[in-house]
Amino acid sequence: MQIKLNNSEIYQQRAEKLEYAKLRIDEIKSKVNGLEKELLEIKKLDSLLIQKRDIKNNRRDTIYKVDEVLFLGELMFQRFPNSMLYTWEEAKEYAQHLQIASYTGWRLPTVEELEKLLTKYSAKNSKGENLFIVQEFLEVLPKDGCFWTSSEENDLYAWVVDFDKGYDYWRRKTLKYYTLYVRKTN
């Protein structure tokens, strides 16, 4: 038994089916968008897990890279060192106004804190330079890898860590070196 429909009834049914299909498509799109957001959140968490690694040379601290900050134990390091050279006083002054990844309270690290980035053996970066620094800084370190610390030897001298040579020593505070700022995580 076949039902005969006139053109207006056909158009009416077509419009209803089309409207229903559009509603279903919108529902599906909404679900897909929600799932895509969940996947992005999972990918962000995955990237944190992938970027996490134990430091070689039997150190117990773990490094996490997140945006412009590198976490090492209870410390946050500036991930990309300043390319400008500063005297010791200028370096301390610059830290007072520094904001990285919406964090304030940055300072020059102590010699012991900066030594945490030193390695026993040098590694070669893509420019062919050998540096004694953890892999996370290997490609972003300036050519002369000598950095100020907050540790003073006396009124005229402060300690620097030299990632180019792989050790620390003190230098006159009026000389200009690079800076790599640090802050506590809490």
Q: Is residue 72 part of a domain?
A: no
Give me the CATH number covering residue 165.
3.10.100
Q: Is residue 90 part of a domain?
A: yes
Per-residue pLDDT for the chain (186 aa), expressed as one digit of tens each? 566 778 888 888 888 988 998 899 888 888 888 888 887 777 666 655 544 444 344 344 666 666 788 888 889 999 888 889 999 999 999 999 999 888 899 999 999 999 999 888 888 888 888 888 888 888 888 878 799 999 999 999 999 999 988 889 999 999 999 999 999 987
For β-strands 167-172 and 146-152, DSSP reports them as unpaired
pTM of the model: 0.65
What strands lie across the sheet with 167-172, from one edge to the other? 146-152, 157-162, 167-172
Chain centroid to CA 136: how far? 10
Q: Is residue 60 part of a domain?
A: no
Q: Which residue has the tokens 């038994």?
A: 1
For residues 108 and 180, what is the distance between their CA atoms, to the nearest angstrom?
A: 7
